[in-house]
Amino acid sequence: MLSHFLKKRAVMGALIGLLITLVCTAGVFTGLFHALHLNVADSLYTRDEATSEIVIVAIDNESTDPAPTGLGRYSQWNREYYADALDRIEEDNPKVVAFDILFHTYTVMTPREKFLELEQELVGTTDEEKIEIYEKFTAESSDSLDNAIDNTLAETFAKYENLVLGAIPLPDGSALIQPIRKFREHAELGIANIPADEDGIGRESRLLYPISYIEEPYKKLSLSVLEKSNPEMEMPTEEFIKINYFGDPYSYKYVPFIDVYNDKLEPGIFADKIVLIGVTSAKEAHDEFLTPRSNTTLMPGVEIHANEIQTILEGKYIHDQSPIAQIITIAIIAIGLTIALNYLGIITAIILTIVALLAYLLAAHAFYDRGIILNMVYPFVAIVLSYLGSWVYKYFIADKGKREMKDAFSHYVSDKLVDEIAENPESVHLGGEKREITVFFSDIRGSTSYSEQIETEKWVAQMNEYFTLMEQVIKKYSGTLDKYEGDAIMGFWNAPITQENHQELAYMAAFGMQEALKLLHEKWKKEGKPLIEFRIGINTGQAIVGNFGSADRFDYTAMGDTVNTASRLEGSANKSYGIKMVISTESNELNEGLREKFLMREIDIVFLPGKKDPERIYELIAPMESASANEKNLVQTYERGLALYRSGNFDEAINSFNSLGEDSPSKIMAARCKTLASGGEIAELSGDYVFKIENK
């Protein structure tokens, strides 16, 4: 009962798939291999569609080069640079200008340019004027809260209503590092934090940041920018979103800050655009991060903001597949694939497994395009485990019987037939069954005299060569090789599997062996070896086939009167009539279909040695398609003589038989007719013309 249940491939495939699902489910909920999932999922970020609606003004290496090519070290920049650059940007009427820069300190150093301006202003003035100018300069520069440079930038900020400035909260949310008051009074604030997972890659962004002493949470820079540029746009309500990266680093339109400052700009480059200003130079600041798009080339923080803005602007959000959806996916893959694999051979199973892996990878990309990131570990694990589980199940349970069947029959039948048996083991009854089969016997004529002509070792080698080739012929025509007995070969058809054309296959094998022997003769002539001849007997009838033998040694073979008759046809009948291939059937009749395909002649009706029932025996002459005119005439003339003989017209029968010359059966039958025509008696011949063969 249990064995029968275990052989149900679909049921066992479902159970194995369910077990795999449970194993993977444990991994999903424990977070095992989550880091691996993140790294593999990064390969899904394949978009190449950075929007032209965002322009980045980059404080890059060129902008921070020493004068005159750049503006010098970034840490020592005069804030009036920003004021001048902002004025030039605003001339194009951008939607919004956002600074990814933290203006949280007052200017405490007087830039060198101010001293140069002071020096120029003092030229040509009186001493009294010099003192007045110097006192004013000192007053403006010494009061950090009322620094003229900061005031200039604040005044510039005040001119525009489309500004967003960056701020950063402390990690515990207890405070906010933000621009000084005179700056933030004229701009919207946005949190400029760049997120990073445990592996240092920025994938997820927090949109709202609560600050302990402020009632409303602060918005991310991206939200503030979009609220300024698209006030009617519906904003996301989630606290966290995944950033959908739209290109490799530096995919957006970049404009060097120094070009803005020097007014070297394309006309309308900022018109109706979202402009982000940030540091990309790594000389002093290191505002660069790893992203899913690249783990080698860092992406500037300001461009990460650009990707986040575009994610929200275009609504191309991405979400992780939910745990429940992951489990359902794994279950479908594991159960469905394991059931399918349980019915496939090893090569096909490997191909299907590879296809499943590739198909899931393609599906993951397709789902990413629709905003869903599939689990990139456990479905692959499920596919591999499905293959391994199916292989183990088939090897040790489902296909064990097939393997044993193939081992059992590999020495008896062709590889093709072995595969058929293995695919349908239920059609084979190893315990034994009675069925109609066609039995084949062949034996070398006069083998003793041949063996005495050459050395024993050479004779054995020659016989092995003969047996090898004849075995190949029998298997070519889907026969079952039963055994070798001395120089005799036994085989049969229609067992262990059913063959509707078993008689035809046996006859074709007989002719195939004759052709193979001709090839051996050509080879042996050149080698100086003796040329052998063989006789064949073929009989069709009921026999018992199965495994016969002792508890320790047994073979698959056939037993019964049909087998004995075939043996006597090969030996006694052939010898008695001087022919090479004799066939018969249990019914003593050959169907018309066979007589249309093969040229054969009825030789006689005989009692074979040890047999009580008569047998109608035929000589198998040639396949009908290759039979010659002489061979066809032989059959017609002989069978006419045979009919005359059976009707008692012995004189005319003698004339028919004698017309065939040296044909052995004809000479034998002519001699028999002469005896009967002269009134003599033949002891072996019954009154109804059945001849008893005495020799074995």
Distance in angstroms (rounded) separating the CA atoms of residues 316 and 314: 5
Query: Bridge partners of 57?
Result: 255, 277
Q: Which residue has the higher pLDDT, 207 or 114?
A: 207
| pLDDT of the residue at 392 | 92
| pLDDT of the residue at 131 | 63
CA 165 to chain centre: 54
Largest CA distance in the chain: 176
* Residues 60 and 280 sit within 8 Å (Cβ to Cβ): yes
Mean pLDDT of 613-637: 96
Give the tens place of pLDDT for each residue, 477-527: 999 888 888 889 999 999 888 899 999 999 999 999 999 999 999 999 999
CA atoms within 13 A on the CB side of 10: 0
Give the tens place of pLDDT for each residue, 322-342: 999 999 999 999 999 999 999
| pLDDT of the residue at 139 | 61
Mean pLDDT of 202-214: 90
| pLDDT of the residue at 340 | 96
Helices 9-30 + 378-393 axis angle, to 10? 150
Distance in angstroms (rounded) separating the CA atoms of residues 182 and 155: 9
Query: Bridge partners of 483?
Result: 490
* DSSP letter for each residue of 376-397: SSHHHHHHHHHHHHHHHHIIII
Give the tens place of pLDDT for each residue, 356-401: 999 999 999 999 999 999 999 999 999 999 999 999 988 888 766 6
Lowest-pLDDT range, 240-254, 303-317, 434-448, 531-545?
434-448
Distance in angstroms (rounded) separating the CA atoms of residues 63 and 79: 14
Give the tens place of pLDDT for each residue, 588-618: 888 888 999 999 999 999 999 988 899 999 9
| pLDDT of the residue at 195 | 81
Distance in angstroms (rounded) separating the CA atoms of residues 637 and 616: 18
Domain extents in the chain: 2-32+330-398, 54-107+147-317, 401-621, 628-696
| pLDDT of the residue at 136 | 67
| pLDDT of the residue at 114 | 58
Report the 3 state secondary structure along 501-569. Answer: CHHHHHHHHHHHHHHHHHHHHHHHHHHCCCCCCEEEEEEEEEEEEEEEECCCCEEEEEECHHHHHHHHH
Tell me the three state secondary structure of residue 12: helix
Listed residue (231, 254, 252) closest to 308, CA to CA = 252
Tell me the three state secondary structure of residue 158: helix
* pLDDT of 686 above 80: yes
Tell me the three state secondary structure of residue 15: helix
> pLDDT band for position 2 (50/70/90)?
low
Listed residue (579, 677, 591) closest to 635, CA to CA = 579
């990073």: which residue's tokens? 196
> pLDDT band for position 264 (50/70/90)?
very high
CA atoms within 13 A on the CB side of 635: 17
Distance in angstroms (rounded) separating the CA atoms of residues 643 and 640: 5
* Residues 180 and 290 sit within 8 Å (Cβ to Cβ): no
| pLDDT of the residue at 414 | 53
Cis peptide before 496 (omega within 30 of 0): yes
| pLDDT of the residue at 548 | 78
Give the tens place of pLDDT for each residue, 163-197: 999 999 998 888 899 999 999 999 999 999 998 88
Cβ-proximal residues to 72 (8 Å cutoff; 6+ apart), any chain: 64, 65, 66
* Residues 464 and 457 sit within 8 Å (Cβ to Cβ): no
> pLDDT band for position 162 (50/70/90)?
very high
Q: Which residue has the higher pLDDT, 347 or 552?
A: 347
Distance in angstroms (rounded) separating the CA atoms of residues 595 and 229: 96
- Percent helix, strand, coil in the chain, to 5, is 45, 20, 35
| pLDDT of the residue at 121 | 66
Cis peptide before 68 (omega within 30 of 0): yes
> pLDDT band for position 219 (50/70/90)?
very high
Distance in angstroms (rounded) separating the CA atoms of residues 142 and 280: 32
Q: Which helix (H) or strand (E) holds 156?
A: helix 148-158
* pLDDT of 205 above 80: yes
């093969």: which residue's tokens? 598
| pLDDT of the residue at 398 | 73
* pLDDT of 429 above 60: no
* Residues 618 and 590 sit within 8 Å (Cβ to Cβ): yes
Give the torsion through C-alpha atoms of 423, 429, 430, 431, to 10 deg.
160
Distance in angstroms (rounded) separating the CA atoms of residues 506 and 133: 126
* Residues 148 and 140 sit within 8 Å (Cβ to Cβ): yes
* Average pLDDT of the chain to the nearest whole number: 89
| pLDDT of the residue at 665 | 97
In eight-state DSSP terms, residue 201 is: B
* Residues 38 and 258 sit within 8 Å (Cβ to Cβ): no
pTM, whole model, 2 decimals? 0.68
Q: Which helix (H) or strand (E) holds 98?
A: strand 96-99
Listed residue (645, 693, 638) closest to 660, CA to CA = 638
* Structure token digits, residue 163: 């500004």
| pLDDT of the residue at 446 | 80
- By DSSP bridging, strand 534-549 and strand 54-59 are unpaired
Q: Which residue has the higher pLDDT, 130 or 470?
A: 470
| pLDDT of the residue at 496 | 83
* pLDDT of 20 above 80: yes
């050395």: which residue's tokens? 455
| pLDDT of the residue at 127 | 65
- Work out the end-to-end distance of the chain between its first and last CA atoms, rounded to an integer number of angstroms: 52
Distance in angstroms (rounded) separating the CA atoms of residues 290 and 311: 18
Q: Return the CATH number of 401-621, one of 3.30.70.1230, 3.40.50.300, 3.50.50.60, 3.40.50.12500.
A: 3.30.70.1230
* pLDDT of 252 above 70: yes
Q: Which amino acid is at 579?
A: I
| pLDDT of the residue at 6 | 73
